[in-house]
Amino acid sequence: MNIPDKLPIERIEDYHTHHLGKSRDGRLFWGYTTFVYSVPLSTIQDDNSLKFRRDYAVFHTFDRDGNYINTQYYFGGTADRCDQEELENKLDEWVSQLGETEYTDIEIKLFQTVIDGFVFGLIPDEEFSLINLEPSATISFLEPWDGGYYT
């Protein structure tokens, strides 16, 4: 099974692809909140895994052909101290900085970037024939590669 190099992504309001669309100048964007554990979950000895969960707002931009341009990010702190509203406000701020925008489905090429030592992006998993939004495999895409995703 072949994993595509370019992936359509469906915008779903108030969900993982809420901040998805294009700007007036043709740039595409995708902003969302996500998290990554700073240590493997199997090594956490107490019940408070939230102190090891790092919460982020991330905002990726792409050119009109879906090529990755860059990523802005904001580390909100560990989940036991993070203000989720602050993360959402960051996403709104980054969208507004693009000027006139339209929330819509987009099609982008697979990409990855490193933030604070962790890989973020659309990462193919050849073994299971899917593409994960990393870190934490927040959402996954698979055949028929029509923009729909699974959580």
The pLDDT value given to residue 1:
60
| Residue 1: inside a domain | no
Q: What is the mean pLDDT of the chain?
A: 93
Q: Write the secondary structure of the chain as one string of H (helix), E (strand) and C (coil).
A: CCCCCEEEECCCCCCCCCEEEEECCCCEEEEEEEEEECCCHHHCCCCCHHHHEEEEEEEEEECCCCCEEEEEEEEEEECCCCCHHHHHHHHHHHHHHCCCEEECCEEEECEEEEECCEEEEEEEECCCCEEEEECCCCCEEECCCCCCCEC
| Residue 128: inside a domain | no
| Residue 58: inside a domain | yes
45 pLDDT above the threshold of 90: no
| Residue 86: inside a domain | yes
| Residue 104: inside a domain | yes
| Residue 121: inside a domain | no
pTM of the model: 0.92
Range of the domain at 100: 10-110
Total domain count, the chain: 1
| Residue 43: inside a domain | yes
28 pLDDT above the threshold of 70: yes
91-103 tens-digit pLDDT: 999 999 999 999 9
The pLDDT-based confidence of 38 (bands split at 50, 70, 90) is confident
| Residue 143: inside a domain | no
